[in-house]
Amino acid sequence: MMLASTLNAAPSKTVALVGTVHSEDIGNQSSSRATWLPTQPKRIEQFEFHLKRPMKAVQLEYQCHLQDIGDSGWLPEGTPCGTQGESRRLEAFGIRLRGEGAHLYTVRYWCLVEGMERPMGPLTDGAMCGTTGESRKLLGMQVELVRK
C-alpha cells in the first residue's frame, strides 16, 4: 500500500501512540503505533488514539468529520471520534496538541482517502486530513508525535 511506503522512515524521536480503529465489516482493531493501514481498505467509522505513556504537560485532542453529521468538535485523547453500528463513514480528521509542553512536540498525520492515488499529509496542528463535502471514505490513517 502506498501509505505504508510513504511512512517507512519514521523519525527516531517519536513518542509512542496507541489506539483503536473501527471499520466496516471488521469492527474494532487495536493499533500499537496509531496506524491503520489495512491490506483491503474498508471505510473507517470511528477511532481513538492516546499516548502510550501519559505526559502531564502534553495531551492530544482531535476532531472528525462524519457523513451526514459534520465536524464533531474537539475531543480529548482516548475519546471515541465517530460512530459504531450506524454505517456512517469518517471523512476527515484533525489532531492538535495542548498543554504546557505542547510547543516541544509536533503531531503529524497522514490519511488514505477513497479515490485518491496518494495519501494526504503530513498534516499538523489540527489541519483536516481527508475531505469534507465530497462523500469520500477515509480508508487509512497514521499519526505520530515527534519531539522537536
pLDDT in tens, 106-129: 999 999 999 998 899 999 999 999
The owner of cell 469520500 is 136
Q: How many CB atoms lie within 10 A of CB 49?
A: 27
How far is 2 from 25, CA to CA, in rounded Å? 22
User: How far apart are the C-alpha atoms of 65 and 73, rounded to whole Å?
Assistant: 9
Identify each DSSP E strand in 54-137 by its residue range. Answer: 59-66, 70-71, 75-76, 81-82, 90-98, 105-113, 120-124, 129-130
Q: Is the pLDDT of residue 66 over 90?
A: yes
Q: What is the pLDDT of residues 35-58, one digit of tens each?
A: 666 666 788 999 999 998 889 899
Residues 6+ positions from 85 with CB-CB distance below 8 Å = none
